[in-house]
């Protein structure tokens, strides 16, 4: 298992998420704690890059952007993004 570290900027962004998406975000944390490399690379042109993303919420409107540090068995949540259409 990996230890999940949420950076302050991501924590601020998390505070702005709609309450209805928090359970979906929690499921992302559960997944990246166990299988962080299952998320697609942030940049598709570099599939082995340690910066990954994981969609969540209705229609994948949310994205968790994170860095995998295998040597430390850590995942650093860098950004939590939410796209509101409306």
Q: Provide the pLDDT confidence category of residue 86 given band limits of 50, 70 and 90.
A: low
Q: Say what the pLDDT of residue 83 is.
A: 87
Share of the chain above pLDDT 70, in %: 98
Mean pLDDT of the chain: 94
- The answer for residues whose C-beta is within 8 angstroms of residue 33's C-beta and 6 or more apart is 1, 2, 3, 4, 75
Q: Could you tell me the pTM of the whole model?
A: 0.93
CATH of the domain at 17: 3.30.2310.20
Quick: pLDDT tens for 11-48.
Answer: 999 999 999 999 999 999 999 999 999 999 999 999 99
- Nearest-angstrom CA–CA distance, 60 and 85: 12
Range of the domain at 14: 3-82
The structural domain count of the chain equals 1
59 vs 37, more confident: 37
């Amino acid at each position: 298992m990996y230890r999940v570290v949420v950076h302050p900027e991501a924590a601020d962004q998390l505070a702005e998420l709609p309450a209805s998406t928090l359970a979906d975000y929690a499921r992302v944390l559960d997944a990246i704690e166990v299988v962080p490399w299952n998320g697609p690379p942030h940049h598709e042109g570099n599939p082995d890059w340690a910066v990954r993303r994981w969609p969540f919420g209705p229609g994948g409107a949310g994205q968790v952007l994170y860095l995998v540090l295998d040597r430390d068995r850590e995942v650093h949540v860098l950004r939590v993004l939410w796209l509101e259409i409306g």
